[in-house]
Structure 1
Amino acid sequence: MTIFIIILLLIVGVVLILLEFFVLPGITVAGIAGVVMMLGGIYLSYQNFGSSIGHLTVFGSVVFSLLALWLALKSGTWDRIMLKTEIDSKVEKLEENMVSIGDEGICLSRLAPMGQVRIKNHIIEAKSTGVYIDEKTPVEVIKIVDKVIVVKPLK
């Protein structure tokens, strides 16, 4: 019965560690429980069967863990779970004469401090001077730095 408990602890420990490694982000209860179960199985083997069987248990659990990790990576199961979305959208580039200092427009989204504005029928990403500017607020272009439009609210 003790051998069954030791093997069960080691197998469940490896499964929990694999779940921690592939599915659950960060250090969670599953990873901690997996390590505790594996250490408990190794401790029981040392306590009940002596040091030679304990050493074999440590070696066997390391080999089993590495084999399980290799099989989990090779199986392709994780490819079906992985996020494979690609971002293929592009930001509209600011042309030389598209916007100039002093042009007026309106905020399409809240500028906190970045957002979208409509200037001369172009929707452009803009930056406020540091203050939050609400949606539908009239704005004026005060400077253009490295193709970034800086606006301030009209009073």
Structure 2
Amino acid sequence: MLLDWTTVILLIGIGLLLIVVEFIFVPGTTIVGILGLILTAIGVWIGYAALGTETGHLILGGTVLIGGLAFFYSFQSNSWARFALKDQNKSRVNEEHQHTLELGQEGRTVSALRPQGTALFAERHYEVQTQGEYITPNTAIRIIRLNQNKITVEAIS
């Protein structure tokens, strides 16, 4: 009788713990949650089979009540706050310093453009791109399109 109670309590306790862990730590439906559900169901089933129907009803009701309280406490309290990620990415594009380039301005490639690379305009390096063609390093180029932070160039022939 004591072994039956111990088995039931351990199975239900481990099962509920795995279900809570799956909800809090592991995103989506995974083996952790499924295993927790199976262990809890086996614990309740053993309670019905070994301890009788009335005791099984009490075990089932207690399991639902304890599981509901565990979920409520887990989500309402800040008990999991120390495990949560709190860092925020506050980076942004530096848009107040727009480039001072103009259409038709000429420069030289620093690296190969395949189709993207680095070019030199007015003693400053810029990331540029072509319309798909390959341009070798140290080639004269011209700006053909400016679109926010995207600079499109072509080789000067």
Are 2:68 and 1:66 equivalent residues in the alignment?
A: yes
Map 1:81-120 to 2 at 5 A. 81-93=83-95, 98-103=100-105, 104=107, 120=122
Within 1, Cα distance between the matches of 2:37 and 2:75?
20
TM-score (structure 1 length as normaliser): 0.69
Query: Alignment partner of 1:62: what SS?
Result: helix
Identity %, equivalent residues: 26
Query: Alignment partner of 1:26: what SS?
Result: coil
Query: Alignment partner of 1:99: what SS?
Result: coil
- Alpha carbons of 1:38 and 1:101: their partners in 2 closer, same or farther (altered >3 Å)? same
Q: Which amino acid aligns with 1:93?
A: E
- Whether contact under 8 Å (2:131, 2:154) holds in the other structure is no
Map 1:6-155 to 2 at 5 A. 6-93=8-95, 98-103=100-105, 104=107, 120=122, 121=124, 129=131, 141-145=143-147, 147-152=148-153, 154=155
Within 2, Cα distance between the matches of 1:67 and 1:118?
65
Which residue matches 1:4? 6
TM-score (structure 2 length as normaliser): 0.68
- Whether contact under 8 Å (1:129, 1:150) holds in the other structure is no
Q: Which runs of 5+ in 2 are unaligned?
A: none
Tell me which moved more, 22-31 or 1-10. Answer: 22-31
RMSD over aligned CA atoms reads 3.8
Q: Which amino acid aligns with 1:151?
A: T
Structure of higher CA gyration radius? 2
Q: Which amino acid aligns with 1:7?
A: I
- Whether contact under 8 Å (1:102, 1:141) holds in the other structure is yes
- Whether contact under 8 Å (2:118, 2:125) holds in the other structure is no
Within 2, Cα distance between the matches of 1:59 and 1:94?
62
